[in-house]
Amino acid sequence: MKVYPLCLPCFLNQVRKAAEVAGLSREKTIEIEREAAKFIYKDLQPEKSPGHNATYIHRIFKKLSGVEDPYKVLKDKYNSIALKLEPQLRKEIYEKAEDRLAVAIKLAALGNVIDFAVPNVFDLEEEIKNFFKTPFAYFDEAILERFLVPGKTVLYVADNAGEIVFDKFLIRELKERGMKVILAVRGGPILNDATVEDAVKTGANEIADELITTGKDYIGVDFEFASDEFKKAWERAFFVISKGQANFETLDGVDDKDIFFILKAKCEPVARELHCNVGDLIFLYNKHLLEIKEEDGED
């Protein structure tokens, strides 16, 4: 996915929001936004993904603010909230389901509402109440079923803190089907993305067979910057599950691996790329998306 014009004000809004969370002064916030604007004017790479460009903008924020992890308190808070909800979700929704795989996929998708980087207000408990009413633009469960081969390895690329608790349902289900699961998180704090610390705090590391990082504080996945362990896991994986917008932005168009995208389309550019509406939930096989784009005459 390439940068859309709508991405540019979003970049600046992310900086402003991080400054607000970090409690920075008006003067410091303006200073950082000016430097971010200079990057957008001089160094933005529009042919690269939004996640690629946002990574450098957030590094500007870190350097000038001196705050390495502005969302630390909020990440801990939403990890805690999600962990408290987990037993209830397991008992009242997952264990009562006739199709546990479908429910596990939906829970993973609903967890994607936890995203402090996107300027939408959400009510997590209200989302749970409306669980079965939430429409999916795509739900490629039948395709996934063909990939559930016991003994094969799945690379599960996580997205946000808090959300990673919801991922545990799908990771458990994959394990129940005899799959081996490698869980990948960010290698350093960036936005509200899950790190090794979050995986350990939520117990996600105990469910997966292996815990690795995608590399440093990179938003999404870029193989130019990915860790060696991630590249090796990518090669080993029978297929990949990609959670969230940033991973979609950076992995959209990668066709050397079978990828299943799980996310909520939270902005117009991503919705356009997915051929859906803003707010739709997505469980989409990458080759299916390629067919949709080809039908619409896209390259």
**Helices and strands counted in the chain (H then E):** 14, 7
Cα 214–Cα 118–Cα 277 angle in degrees, nearest 5: 100
Interior angle at CA 14, CA 12 and CA 20, nearest 5: 105
Question: Using CA atoms, how far apart are residues 45 and 188, in angstroms rounded to an integer?
Answer: 23
| DSSP states of 235-286 | HH-SEEEEEHHHHHHHHTT--SS-EEEEEE--SHHHHHHHTS-TT-EEEEEH
Q: Which amino acid is at 162?
A: G
* 190: DSSP letter: -
**Whole-angstrom distance, CA of residue 248 vs CA of residue 286:** 10
Q: Considering the entire predicted model, what is its pTM?
A: 0.93
C-alpha to C-alpha distance for 245 and 223, rounded to whole angstroms: 17
Other CB atoms within 10 A of residue 216 CB: 14
| Tens-binned pLDDT, residue by residue, of the chain (299 aa) | 999 999 999 999 999 999 999 999 999 999 999 999 999 999 999 999 999 999 999 999 999 999 999 999 989 988 998 898 899 889 988 999 999 999 999 999 987 875 544 444 456 566 677 766 778 999 999 999 999 999 999 999 999 999 999 999 999 999 999 999 999 999 999 999 999 999 999 999 999 999 999 998 999 998 988 999 999 999 999 999 999 999 999 999 999 999 999 999 999 999 999 999 998 999 999 999 999 988 887 66
CA distance 241 to 236: 14
d(CA 44, CA 42): 6
Beta bridge partners of 211: 183
Segment holding 294, helix H or strand E:
helix 286-295
